[in-house]
Amino acid sequence: MVMPDLARVWTRQEVLALPDDGNRYELVDGELLVSPTPRPVHQRAVGAFYRRLHGYVRANRLGEALFSPADLDLGSEQLLQPDVFVIGPAAPGPREWSDVGIPRLLVEVLSPTTARYDRIIKRRRFQRSGVPVYWIVDVDARLVEVWIPAEASPRVVDELLEWRPDPETVPLTIDLLEVFREILDE
Protein backbone atom coordinates (compact mmCIF):
# COMPACT_ATOMS: atom_id res chain seq x y z
CA MET A 1 0.00 0.00 0.00
CA VAL A 2 1.24 3.52 -0.77
CA MET A 3 1.90 5.17 2.54
CA PRO A 4 3.14 8.74 2.73
CA ASP A 5 5.33 9.81 5.63
CA LEU A 6 3.46 12.89 6.80
CA ALA A 7 5.77 13.48 9.75
CA ARG A 8 8.31 15.60 7.84
CA VAL A 9 9.41 17.11 4.57
CA TRP A 10 11.83 14.87 2.67
CA THR A 11 14.61 15.91 0.28
CA ARG A 12 15.65 14.22 -2.95
CA GLN A 13 19.02 13.28 -1.44
CA GLU A 14 17.37 11.63 1.58
CA VAL A 15 15.08 9.57 -0.62
CA LEU A 16 17.96 8.52 -2.90
CA ALA A 17 19.81 7.31 0.22
CA LEU A 18 16.98 4.96 1.31
CA PRO A 19 17.85 1.24 1.16
CA ASP A 20 17.01 -0.89 -1.86
CA ASP A 21 14.34 -2.95 -0.11
CA GLY A 22 11.98 -3.79 -2.97
CA ASN A 23 9.73 -0.77 -2.45
CA ARG A 24 9.46 2.07 -4.93
CA TYR A 25 10.13 5.46 -3.36
CA GLU A 26 8.97 8.72 -4.87
CA LEU A 27 9.13 12.31 -3.65
CA VAL A 28 6.44 14.83 -4.57
CA ASP A 29 6.69 18.30 -3.06
CA GLY A 30 8.47 16.97 0.03
CA GLU A 31 6.03 14.08 0.53
CA LEU A 32 7.48 10.58 0.50
CA LEU A 33 5.37 8.02 -1.40
CA VAL A 34 6.15 4.34 -0.94
CA SER A 35 4.76 1.67 -3.27
CA PRO A 36 5.17 -2.10 -3.13
CA THR A 37 6.23 -4.24 -6.07
CA PRO A 38 3.61 -4.02 -8.83
CA ARG A 39 1.34 -6.92 -9.82
CA PRO A 40 1.93 -8.94 -13.02
CA VAL A 41 -1.03 -7.32 -14.82
CA HIS A 42 0.52 -3.92 -14.10
CA GLN A 43 3.83 -5.03 -15.59
CA ARG A 44 2.12 -6.45 -18.69
CA ALA A 45 0.45 -3.07 -19.19
CA VAL A 46 3.78 -1.26 -18.77
CA GLY A 47 5.32 -3.57 -21.37
CA ALA A 48 2.46 -3.14 -23.84
CA PHE A 49 2.64 0.66 -23.76
CA TYR A 50 6.44 0.72 -23.75
CA ARG A 51 6.66 -1.49 -26.85
CA ARG A 52 4.30 0.72 -28.82
CA LEU A 53 5.98 3.94 -27.74
CA HIS A 54 9.51 2.62 -28.22
CA GLY A 55 8.92 1.60 -31.83
CA TYR A 56 7.19 4.87 -32.72
CA VAL A 57 9.70 7.14 -30.96
CA ARG A 58 12.67 5.33 -32.48
CA ALA A 59 11.23 5.23 -36.02
CA ASN A 60 10.48 8.96 -35.90
CA ARG A 61 13.69 9.99 -34.09
CA LEU A 62 11.72 11.74 -31.37
CA GLY A 63 14.01 10.86 -28.48
CA GLU A 64 13.88 7.77 -26.32
CA ALA A 65 11.16 5.73 -24.60
CA LEU A 66 12.20 4.46 -21.16
CA PHE A 67 10.61 2.84 -18.12
CA SER A 68 11.13 2.77 -14.37
CA PRO A 69 12.96 2.37 -12.15
CA ALA A 70 14.04 5.95 -12.74
CA ASP A 71 14.63 8.94 -10.51
CA LEU A 72 13.25 11.85 -12.54
CA ASP A 73 13.27 15.24 -10.88
CA LEU A 74 11.38 17.31 -13.50
CA GLY A 75 13.82 20.13 -12.89
CA SER A 76 12.43 20.71 -9.40
CA GLU A 77 14.19 18.34 -6.97
CA GLN A 78 11.34 15.83 -7.10
CA LEU A 79 11.95 12.11 -7.37
CA LEU A 80 9.41 10.45 -9.63
CA GLN A 81 9.24 7.02 -11.19
CA PRO A 82 6.63 7.03 -13.93
CA ASP A 83 5.99 3.60 -15.38
CA VAL A 84 6.86 4.65 -18.95
CA PHE A 85 8.12 7.96 -20.29
CA VAL A 86 9.49 9.56 -23.42
CA ILE A 87 12.37 12.01 -23.33
CA GLY A 88 13.28 14.25 -26.21
CA PRO A 89 16.38 13.83 -28.34
CA ALA A 90 19.59 14.90 -26.69
CA ALA A 91 23.15 14.78 -27.93
CA PRO A 92 24.77 13.23 -26.06
CA GLY A 93 22.05 11.43 -24.11
CA PRO A 94 21.66 12.21 -20.39
CA ARG A 95 23.93 10.24 -18.06
CA GLU A 96 22.05 10.99 -14.83
CA TRP A 97 18.30 11.06 -14.14
CA SER A 98 18.59 14.63 -12.94
CA ASP A 99 19.77 15.57 -16.47
CA VAL A 100 16.62 14.29 -18.21
CA GLY A 101 14.50 17.41 -17.68
CA ILE A 102 10.81 17.37 -18.57
CA PRO A 103 9.72 14.26 -20.51
CA ARG A 104 7.53 14.65 -23.57
CA LEU A 105 5.09 12.02 -22.30
CA LEU A 106 4.54 10.23 -18.99
CA VAL A 107 2.50 7.04 -18.57
CA GLU A 108 1.28 5.66 -15.25
CA VAL A 109 -0.56 2.35 -14.97
CA LEU A 110 -2.96 2.42 -12.04
CA SER A 111 -2.72 -0.10 -9.25
CA PRO A 112 -5.17 -0.35 -6.36
CA THR A 113 -2.48 1.04 -4.06
CA THR A 114 -1.36 3.92 -6.28
CA ALA A 115 -4.53 5.23 -7.96
CA ARG A 116 -5.07 8.20 -5.65
CA TYR A 117 -1.45 9.34 -5.93
CA ASP A 118 -1.29 8.86 -9.71
CA ARG A 119 -4.56 10.69 -10.31
CA ILE A 120 -4.13 13.53 -7.84
CA ILE A 121 -0.75 14.18 -6.26
CA LYS A 122 1.54 13.09 -9.08
CA ARG A 123 -0.77 14.45 -11.81
CA ARG A 124 -0.78 17.90 -10.23
CA ARG A 125 3.02 17.86 -9.99
CA PHE A 126 3.33 16.76 -13.64
CA GLN A 127 0.98 19.54 -14.73
CA ARG A 128 2.83 22.18 -12.69
CA SER A 129 6.13 20.96 -14.13
CA GLY A 130 4.87 21.42 -17.68
CA VAL A 131 4.78 17.78 -18.78
CA PRO A 132 2.99 18.12 -22.15
CA VAL A 133 1.00 14.87 -21.92
CA TYR A 134 0.28 12.47 -19.05
CA TRP A 135 -1.56 9.20 -19.63
CA ILE A 136 -3.18 7.36 -16.73
CA VAL A 137 -3.90 3.78 -17.79
CA ASP A 138 -6.79 2.13 -15.96
CA VAL A 139 -6.62 -1.55 -16.92
CA ASP A 140 -9.70 -2.50 -14.90
CA ALA A 141 -11.87 0.13 -16.60
CA ARG A 142 -10.07 -0.41 -19.96
CA LEU A 143 -9.44 3.26 -20.58
CA VAL A 144 -6.77 5.93 -20.60
CA GLU A 145 -7.11 9.38 -19.07
CA VAL A 146 -5.21 11.94 -21.13
CA TRP A 147 -4.08 14.94 -19.09
CA ILE A 148 -2.39 18.10 -20.34
CA PRO A 149 -1.16 21.13 -18.38
CA ALA A 150 -3.75 23.66 -17.21
CA GLU A 151 -6.70 21.30 -17.74
CA ALA A 152 -8.94 20.54 -14.77
CA SER A 153 -10.21 17.27 -16.21
CA PRO A 154 -8.87 14.62 -18.57
CA ARG A 155 -9.97 13.46 -21.98
CA VAL A 156 -11.06 9.85 -21.45
CA VAL A 157 -10.21 7.44 -24.27
CA ASP A 158 -11.39 3.84 -24.53
CA GLU A 159 -10.89 2.96 -28.21
CA LEU A 160 -8.15 4.77 -30.16
CA LEU A 161 -5.47 6.66 -28.27
CA GLU A 162 -3.48 9.16 -30.32
CA TRP A 163 -0.22 10.95 -29.51
CA ARG A 164 1.28 13.58 -31.79
CA PRO A 165 4.35 15.07 -30.11
CA ASP A 166 5.38 16.99 -33.20
CA PRO A 167 3.07 18.51 -35.83
CA GLU A 168 5.50 17.37 -38.54
CA THR A 169 5.23 13.72 -37.50
CA VAL A 170 2.52 11.18 -38.25
CA PRO A 171 0.70 10.53 -34.94
CA LEU A 172 1.00 7.31 -32.99
CA THR A 173 -2.39 5.61 -32.81
CA ILE A 174 -2.88 2.87 -30.24
CA ASP A 175 -5.86 0.52 -30.48
CA LEU A 176 -6.82 0.28 -26.81
CA LEU A 177 -9.21 -2.62 -27.36
CA GLU A 178 -6.27 -4.63 -28.73
CA VAL A 179 -3.91 -3.45 -25.98
CA PHE A 180 -6.28 -4.37 -23.15
CA ARG A 181 -6.94 -7.81 -24.70
CA GLU A 182 -3.16 -8.33 -24.81
CA ILE A 183 -2.67 -7.15 -21.22
CA LEU A 184 -5.53 -9.26 -19.87
CA ASP A 185 -4.52 -12.26 -21.99
CA GLU A 186 -7.94 -12.60 -23.63
Chain segment 14-54, per-residue pLDDT in tens: 888 888 887 888 888 888 888 888 889 999 999 999 999 99
Write down the pLDDT at residue 74: 86
d(CA 48, CA 109): 11
CB 48 within 8 A of CB 60: no
Distant-in-sequence, close-in-space partners of 78: CB < 8 Å, separation ≥ 6: 12, 26, 27, 28, 29, 72, 125, 129
Query: 26-35, 57-66, 91-100: which has the highest mean pLDDT?
Result: 57-66
Q: Which is higher by pLDDT, 163 or 96?
A: 163
**Using only C-alpha atoms, what is the Rg of the chain?**
16
Write down the pLDDT at residue 173: 97
Q: Which is higher by pLDDT, 106 or 25?
A: 106
Mapped onto helix, strand or coil, the DSSP state of residue 77 is coil
| Predicted confidence (pLDDT) at residue 98 exceeds the cutoff of 90 | no
Which run of H or E residues covers position 155?
A: strand 155-157
Write down the pLDDT at residue 108: 96
| Averaged pLDDT, 63-92 | 87
108-122: pLDDT as tens digits: 999 888 888 899 989
CB 28 within 8 A of CB 121: yes
Write down the pLDDT at residue 91: 60
Helix, strand, coil percentages in the chain from 3-state DSSP, rounded to 5: 25, 25, 45
